[in-house]
Amino acid sequence: TVQPVPVYGTNGDDRGYLEGQLESGRFKLIGTGTFDYLTFYGTQGRKDMVVSAGLSPQFAVTTFFSVAVGYNFQWRTSSANSLASQFTRHEAFLRLTVAY
């Protein structure tokens, strides 16, 4: 993907991803993983790497209502000398879904 970025000009994103699901009756386990290699063409050789992983068990309470909890992890590193472009993020979530 190539897209404009306001501060850095143009950004290219080379991405690989994997998603898997295991389902047994009302229970579903969803796992995801991504790797992004970002190239910023408007700056002098800036390149970033972003690694993400997530795991979420889901339970179907009824045919139209489900509950899920999950955890997502994201790690980003950059060739830029800015601490704002290098971080680790941990996210926990609770999702209630109503399908109608």
pLDDT score of 81: 75
pLDDT score of 20: 98
pLDDT score of 2: 85
pTM of the model: 0.78
Instruction: Using 70 as the pLDDT threshold, list the residues of the chain that sit under it.
Output: 43
pLDDT score of 18: 97
pLDDT score of 40: 86
Residue 38 burial (C-beta neighbours within 10 Å; 0-12, 13-18, 19+): buried
Beta pairing, strands 47-60 & 87-98 = unpaired
Beta pairing, strands 47-60 & 65-78 = antiparallel
pLDDT score of 11: 85
